[in-house]
Amino acid sequence: MADIHSKTVRSYNMSKIKSKNTKPELVVRKFLFSHGIRYRLHQNKLAGKPDIVLSKYKTVIFIHGCFWHGHNECAYASLPKTRTEWWKEKIAKNIANDEKAVRYLRETGWRVIVIWSCDLKPKTQEIVLAKLLNELKNC
């Protein structure tokens, strides 16, 4: 199946996909800051380069996009109809890298919290953020 966009348009569209400062990430950061929890961002010294690092709590938070990180049984994680095999491999590599980073961080004494972007949709956002705050306070 051919792509509906030209190579130039597709390249432009893909270049606009961000890996930092995404909307779900900003939601979590604003919530933490409003509750007096201070953090560091994107620490490349830690495995997987976590989105948020809470040194005081020895905790890292990954905010995963459902598509890019292969969220199981999520409507937002459906594969494209073009180049499906390539996308399957790409996402499988992302999942393997995520698992490796989480395993290493846990082995080195860090607590790891993964929040999926679909969990931060308006219907469930309040519940997820309340759980996050509760989990941090119980450290």
Q: List pLDDT tens digits, range 20-61.
A: 778 999 999 999 999 999 999 999 899 999 999 999 999 999
Asked whether residue 9 is domain-assigned, the answer is: no
The sign of the dihedral angle between the CA atoms of 65, 68, 72, 73 is positive
Domain coverage including residue 73: 32-137
Asked whether residue 36 is domain-assigned, the answer is: yes
Asked whether residue 10 is domain-assigned, the answer is: no
Asked whether residue 100 is domain-assigned, the answer is: yes
- Burial class (CB within 10 angstroms; exposed 0-12, middle 13-18, buried 19+) of 17: exposed
Asked whether residue 56 is domain-assigned, the answer is: yes
Residue 3 φ then ψ, to 5°: -70, 140
Tens digits of per-residue pLDDT, 93-128? 999 999 999 999 999 999 999 999 999 999 999 999
Provide the domain count of the chain: 1
What's the pTM?
Answer: 0.86
Asked whether residue 113 is domain-assigned, the answer is: yes
- CATH at residue 100: 3.40.960.10
